[in-house]
Amino acid sequence: MPSLPMPPWNMQPELTLLARMRQGDEEAFVELYRRHKDAIFRFAMLRTGSAARAADVTQETFLHLMTRPGQYDPGRGSLAAWLCGVARNLARRECAGREDATDPGDLADDATLAQDLVEANGPVERLLADETAEQVRAAIASIAPHYRDVLILCELSELSYAEAAQVCGIDIGTVRSRLSRARAQLADRFSRMGLMHGPGRVKEAS
């Protein structure tokens, strides 16, 4: 279920923390880090497919916040969305070589199994203890990056469409269409991996 656009909330506490951090307040930086670290790490893990690379991306993201806080414009969105955008750019740089081959057009009609794609990209790294969750993650990892980003941001990082649009630098209409295609691709991957069969009897279309 796609999340609805998030309601506006009071950004003042975070902006105060940001201002204090810019004046050299270490506690303010730590507070900001603790607020956003897990969301950034999970996003980076889903985006890079590696816990080690996700840790690097998370560290670089907060170093970016530390050294270039002036780049964040509160008028354009939340700090969480801006950090996600920074993490996305860093993750793209990390995965630049691997993602060159995954063009959305090529993958739209690609019948290759998700597992094949993951294995083609290198040794599989198990990130989650739960078997099904790990399969779902692997399926998401096999989606074209353009669609995968929107899917991760809207479905798993709980960002609004507007914030996902800000992160990806696209308009909301494009977010909606990419999310729709991402879900279709994901359903296809799930089906091929046998994940579309529920515990009970699957109701089939007549």
Partner 1 sequence: MNPDIDRLHPAVREARLAERLETLRSALAAVATPASLEPALVDRFRAHRRRERSLARPRLWWLPPLAMVVTVAFVSWMVRVPPALPVPEADPGSAAAPAPAGAQDAGPFLALKPLERIALEPRATVVATEFPRALLAQWGLPVSPERAGEPVRAEFLYSAQGEPLALRILN
CB of 49 to partner 1, least distance (A): 13
Segment contacting partner 1 by CB under 8 A, of 11-19, 54-62, 91-99, 117-125: 54-62
Q: Which backbone phi and psi does 121 adopt, to 5 degrees?
A: -85, -5
- 194 burial level (CB within 10 Å; 0-12, 13-18, 19+): exposed
Assess 187 for contact with partner 1 (CB under 8 A).
yes
Q: Is 186 in the site for partner 1 (CB under 8 A)?
A: yes
Residue 104 corresponds to which tokens in the numbers above?
């959305």
> Between 140 and 169, how does the x/- string for binding to partner 1 read (CB under 8 A)?
x--------------xx-------------
Range 105-124, binding partner 1 (CB under 8 A): 111
Q: Return the structure tokens found at 19.
A: 């201002």
Backbone angles phi, psi at 163, to 5 degrees: -70, -40
Binder among 58, 78, 142, 160 for partner 1 (CB under 8 A): 58
198 binds partner 1 (CB under 8 A): yes
Does residue number 70 form part of the binding site for partner 1 (CB under 8 A)?
A: no
Burial (CB count within 10 angstroms: exposed 0-12, middle 13-18, buried 19+), residue 107: buried
Residue 47 contacts by C-beta under 8 Å, 6 or more apart in sequence?
A: 54, 57, 87, 88, 91, 95, 148, 149, 152
Positions touching partner 1 (CB under 8 A) are 1, 24, 26, 29-30, 33-34, 37-38, 40-42, 45-46, 51, 55, 58-59, 62-63, 66-67, 111, 127-130, 132-134, 136-137, 140, 155-156, 183, 186-188, 190-192, 195-198, 202-205
